[in-house]
Amino acid sequence: MQIWIEFLRVAIPMVVLLVLLPTLAARMFSTAATSRFSDLLAVGFVRTALFLVFLGFLLGAWKLYLPGIVFTAYAVWIVGTVVLASRNGWLYDLDSWTFGYARLLRSVEQRSRMRHVLDRTLELSQDYLFLTLLIFAMFLHFAWNPLSNLRFPTAAGYAQTLSLGTLLNGSASVRDASATLLAPIALASGLDAATVVRLSVPLLYLLILSAIVCCSYAYSRSPWPAVLAVIPFWHYSSGPGIEAATTPDATLWATLVLIAAVGAGRRSVGTACSGLLLAWLLAPTLPELFLIALASLAIGFVGFGLMRSGPPILRKASVAALFLLGLSSLASPLPSVPPNGPFQYESAARAADRIARKFQRNRWIVVSPMHETAFVTGRGWHKELPQFLDEFPTTAAADKAFRLPFELADIFIFVEKRPLPQIAKLAVPGNSSNSFYYATSPGRTSMAYRAAEFIAAYSSSHNGVTIFHEDDDLVVYQIHQ
């Protein structure tokens, strides 16, 4: 239950800050009040995302990325969007405010108008019911891994978490556009960087699917091109048997922005160019996922054209084929995720997260392999285990006069009982000088052995050593000073 609450705490700010408020601001008092909602959605999202990226770069360089400054700047941006999209008369004409208030009251009193809106909503929900169920099934597939596991499946997840944590803590300037997009969401949700990065993955997939639907509808005004587009995207990006949600988050952001830019191009060339600039800041190379989405959109438009121009029997057969493809997608099994790895044990990630949630902020330090850094950054301290073992040898720990030079209440040392299966074929993020310990079997084994020796020597001559967590793979020792 807690994970779903945290998911909502991430989802609501993401939708409100990046989608809902920008769209409403572009629509309020707009001279293009008759513009399609999908057009305003794309324009509002691209412009606001680009603003947040440069705001993050600027405040990060000045080490002023604080909640008050960020949300004040965001409010000014939304108000500025309303002003620029408006007929200037309402800014200084009191009668326009009076008439506007009267129109609002009249629309509330006219029940027939409200009934029409309700009927139209029910009609659209029936037309898009199959598409909604299809997207929901895809979302569950993408969300299964992030909602079930704390560890990240790719090095990009750890790197982005560290960038986001650095920006939120004001430690240094961050040149990661995807982190600056997630930072306001992290501030609004009140969650740590690792949770926000992990739970943003299924949300980004869901937004990409929604962008494909909006883009299809903007050009065709029919739900069938969207159905024809999302099915191939689903099968190519994360079909049955393929592990879901392994795409780096910056690539997901870039794909979402590029699809929105395609949708905005029909209304605003400037916004489309802004989307290209933002996508380049997110991912300098063209994301493969966007090419898949673009091909899916093309399949949707071509298929819809053939359905409309073909004989009735072909249209009926096409609809039946779509339902069969959709049902196969709905019925596909959820992805099977390995219980551990590739960079850390799942129990190690959960132990680090539990420490960060349970103990007082910045009053403890975790000594472990580097990948636990992502789960404690901004909440406590971390020291890499190889460096710790080099600085404090076993012979020194056996001396009763030895004291660890940390002015902290608790020290947690992670010791692998069974060294993690090796990741030599994968990229090793972080300090390359320690890659021997993280990417080779002899290095990982020697690191675990030396850590066990240190704990044995220290506990034989000192008090205050307890076991915080233990399972078949890992033991976490707590040293209380």
**Helix (H) / strand (E) containing 317:** helix 312-330
Closest CA to 411 of 459, 453, 449: 459
Separation between Cα atoms, residue 471 and residue 377, nearest integer Å: 24
Closest CA to 137 of 57, 235, 43: 235
Q: What is the mean pLDDT of the chain?
A: 83
Separation between Cα atoms, residue 276 and residue 282, nearest integer Å: 10
- 73 pLDDT band, cuts 50/70/90, is very high
Q: Which of 153-157, 308-312, 370-374 has the lowest mean pLDDT?
A: 308-312
For 265, residues 6+ apart whose C-beta sits below 8 A from its C-beta are 271, 272
Separation between Cα atoms, residue 458 and residue 394, nearest integer Å: 8
Task: Check the CA dihedral 455-460-466-471 and report its sign.
Answer: positive
Residues above pLDDT 70, as percent of the chain: 80
Which pLDDT value is given to residue 240?
46
Residue-wise pLDDT for 186-204, tens only, equals: 999 999 999 999 999 999 9
| Inter-residue contact 53 to 278 (CB < 8 Å) | yes
Separation between Cα atoms, residue 134 and residue 140, nearest integer Å: 10
Residue 141 has pLDDT above 60, yes or no: yes
Separation between Cα atoms, residue 48 and residue 75, nearest integer Å: 11
- 88 pLDDT band, cuts 50/70/90, is low
What does DSSP say about strands 364-368 and 410-416: parallel, antiparallel, or unpaired? Answer: parallel
Separation between Cα atoms, residue 409 and residue 104, nearest integer Å: 59
Task: Check the CA dihedral 160-210-50-183 and report its sign.
Answer: negative
The first and second tokens of residue 31, run together, are 């001279």
Which pLDDT value is given to residue 277?
93
Predicted structure pTM score: 0.87
Of residues 455 and 313, which shows the higher confidence score?
A: 455
Which range of 203-207, 291-295, 474-478 scores highest in mean pLDDT? It is 474-478
Q: Which of 94-108, 281-295, 356-370, 388-402 has the lowest mean pLDDT?
A: 94-108
Residue-wise pLDDT for 267-326, tens only, equals: 778 888 999 999 999 988 888 889 889 998 888 888 877 777 777 776 667 767 777 776
Which pLDDT value is given to residue 216?
84
Place of tokens 């990009």: 156
| Inter-residue contact 362 to 424 (CB < 8 Å) | no
pLDDT mean over 235-257: 71
Amino acid in position 445: T
Q: Which of 143-152, 161-170, 244-253, 383-392 has the lowest mean pLDDT?
A: 244-253
DSSP state letters, 358-370: HSPTTSEEEEE-G
Closest CA to 180 of 281, 270, 81: 281
Burial-class residue 389 by CB neighbours within 10 Å (0-12, 13-18, 19+).
Answer: buried
DSSP state letters, 113-168: HHHHHHHHHHHHHHHTHHHHHHHHHHHHHHHHHHHH-SS-SSHHHHHHHHHHHHHH
For 472, residues 6+ apart whose C-beta sits below 8 A from its C-beta are 417, 418
